[in-house]
Structures are given as C-alpha cells and as structure tokens.
Structure 1
Amino acid sequence: MSTMTHADEVDPKNAEHAWQAAGEVHPQTSEDWSVYFRLLRFAAKLGHPEAQKNLALWYLEGMQDESGREMFPRAPQRAIPLLRAAVSHGNERAMHDLAYCYDTGCGVRRDPERAMSLYRKAARRGVTISALNLAIMYREQENARGEERWNRHAVAIGKEEGNLDGVLELAKMALRDGWSDKRAKPVMASLRKLARQESDQCAPEAMLLLSEAHSRGIGVRHSKAIARRWLLKAAEAGDEDAIEALRQASQK
C-alpha cells in the first residue's frame, strides 16, 4: 500500500489513527515527507499531544533537503500554541520544550520565571535535562542551594535513563565552591564510577574533573600523582582541555 493511499484512509475523527499512520511513513522522497507532515498536522489538529509536540519541534527547527531547498518552514511562533496544547494534556517533553522557548526567547517573549516553573514541572515528571537546565538557571541567579538541589535531582532521575550529566554538574559545583570532604566524597565516588566507564561519552570529562579533585584534595585523597594519571587518561580519551593542560605543563 502506498503512503498516499494510507494517508487518504486515515479516520478523520481519530487522532490516534492519524498519529500511528504518520509513524508508519518512512520518508525518503519529498513526496513521502509531504505525506508525513500532512498526517502529523492532521493528528496535531485532532489533539494528539505527541503529534502536537513533534510538529512544534519541526516548526522550531525547520528542515531543508541536501540542496538547501526548504522542506518544512522554520516558524518558532507557530510552535508555541502547539506546545501549550501538548502541555495541557500533561506531555512532560512538551513542558521541557516550552520551558526552553521561554528560557531562550525562541518564538515567544523571554520569561525566566515561567521557564523555571515549566522546567520544574517537567523535572518532577522525570525529564533529566529539565532538572539540569533548572540548575543552570539557579546558578545564573547565584542560588547555590537551588543549583545543588536540581543537580542532585538530575542525578537521581538520570540513573534510570543512563543520563549522567547530573554527576558531572555536581562535581563541578563541588570543585567550584570548595565543598567539604564529607559533602564532596559521595559525589566524587559517583564521578569515579563514571570515569571508569570508558565507553561513556561523559567519561573523559569525568576523568578531567577527578584529576582536579585529586590535585586539590576535594572529596578524594590529595595526590598530585593520581591527579596526573587521571589527566593523562582524560587526554588519551580525547578531552581537549586535558590535552591543552598537558601541553602547557610540558612548556613550563
């Protein structure tokens, strides 16, 4: 069955049917993409929250083919009502995306307070990146307590989905603010586990942070030798900051 026939057979009153039909389209040609976007718009118009959220993302980013021809128009302002509709249905990813729009002023007037409120709601529903972004906003406000709280929240919910960015952010806080050994020790223990997972993309940065921690004795044993070993491992793993640090050290 062709995608065009499939699109024409969608129940005009069934949002789920339209959403499923869109998911069955695997666009390769411009005609396929046209069908996909038609179904996506249809499902969104019928009130399907996932379709509303996905269509909003297309409006936020737009799409061009390899020749640079516009396949889907970038129109951030059109994304906002779609995200609001998806949020009204409780879609947590839409909460995050709408928060980001208010945070950055994309398609809507910048509103930090509203952004924080939406990030908070999404984070409480398990969206790790929302917790991390909320922590960043607290840091920009010089609110260390709020920053730490939401970085810890990111660590807690990130474990389930394998997102370990919260561990990195907590370690950065510990080093930046000079946490006590008792307070920093569990954070550095988690950082060490991450650094030893060499296949993880976060591992090189974790190695670099461990190097600094050992160099300063924050949450770990104060040891210049161990610090250098972690710095070398970070450089071997491709961390550019570690490579630059070694280059500068060799010139002294």
Structure 2
Amino acid sequence: MTTGRGRTRSNSPKAIELWQQACALWDGGRHRKAFELMKLAARKGEPPARLNLGYFYDEGIGTRPDKRRAVLCYRMSAARGNASGAYNIGVSYRNEGRYTLARRWYERALSLGEPDALLDRISARRSL
C-alpha cells in the first residue's frame, strides 16, 4: 500500500494545514488524533488526505479497520487521478483473491504513473 506523503494540490490553506498536522501526529504515534484531522482534511478536499484516510481505515490506524471505507476512500482518490489510490484498490482486490479486478486496477494505476503496479499486475495475471 502507498500513502500520500508527497505534494499537495489543495486550494485550501486550512485543508493543507490540517493534513500537515495529521501527518505530524501520525509520525508522533498519536493515531486517534491523526485520524480525526486526516478525516477533516479529506472532507475539505486535500487529495493526499483522502488517500491516507483510506490507509488509516485499511490498517486500523486511529480507528477500527474498515476495508469497505478504505476502498471507498481509495476510489475517490483514484477518481481524482491519484495513481496510489488506484494501486491500493488493486492491492485490496488481490488480498481478497479477486485477481481480475486487481489486474484492472493495477493497469489503471500504471496509466496514472504508479510504477509499483507493473510487477503486481504481472503477478495478478499469473494468479488467474
């Protein structure tokens, strides 16, 4: 899985600030508070926050694990052109044994510029 720790594309200074604070709290091990701020930043339109929120749900960071919500966040991220969101959906489907869907999402991630998806796409094809 990949997370959004890179560049931000939000037009909202408040969303960027919330995302940065959430990342600092996450790094400091304050996961519950990081989750709450990440959720706020995602609602305000900060693209990496949406991806990270999916990761928090996926791994149960600061909240209970919720694979359905994780994939929803990843889908929203991918719909905005985030390659890591598409890649994470592929990983989720691969982990469920749904290799055809995983391969499709890896291909989407590749088209959006996620190089890690290449090997995963090949391994998903071999699992069919």
Could you state the TM-score of these two structures normalised by the residue count of structure 1? 0.44
Describe the SS at the equivalent of 1:48.
helix
The match for 1:4 is none
Correspondent of 1:129 among 84, 91, 98 = 84
Are 1:142 and 2:101 matched, yes or no? no
> Alpha-carbon deviation of 1:52?
0.7
Are 1:94 and 2:45 matched, yes or no? no
Query: Aligned partners of 1:165, 1:124: CA distance in 2, in Å?
Result: 19
Q: Look up the equivalent residue of 1:171 and give its one-letter code.
A: I
Query: Aligned partners of 2:100, 2:127: CA distance in 1, in Å?
Result: 14
> Alpha-carbon deviation of 1:111?
0.6
Q: Look up the equivalent residue of 1:113 and give its one-letter code.
A: R
> Alpha-carbon deviation of 1:175?
3.0
Larger Rg: 1
Q: How many residues are aligned here?
A: 116
Are 1:59 and 2:25 matched, yes or no? yes
Describe the SS at the equivalent of 2:65.
coil
The match for 2:119 is 168
Q: Which runs of 5+ in 2 are unaligned?
A: 1-12
Q: Look up the equivalent residue of 2:118 and give its one-letter code.
A: V
Q: Look up the equivalent residue of 2:123 and give its one-letter code.
A: K
> Alpha-carbon deviation of 1:95?
0.5
The match for 1:242 is none
Moved over 2 A (4+): 174-177
> Alpha-carbon deviation of 1:134?
1.0
> Alpha-carbon deviation of 1:146?
1.7
The match for 2:109 is 154
User: CA separation of 1:141/1:119 partners in 2, compared to 1, >3 Å: closer, same or farther?
Assistant: same
1:90-239 equivalent positions in 2, closer than 5 A: 90-158=45-113, 163-177=114-128
- The alignment yields a C-alpha RMSD, in angstroms, of 1.4
Could you state the TM-score of these two structures normalised by the residue count of structure 2? 0.83
1:17-50 Cα offsets, whole Å, 9 max, x none, are: xxxxxxxxxxxxxxxxxxxxxxxxxxxxxx7111
Q: Look up the equivalent residue of 1:165 and give its one-letter code.
A: D
- Contact 2:58–2:66 (8 Å) recurs in 1: yes
Correspondent of 2:40 among 62, 85, 92 = 85
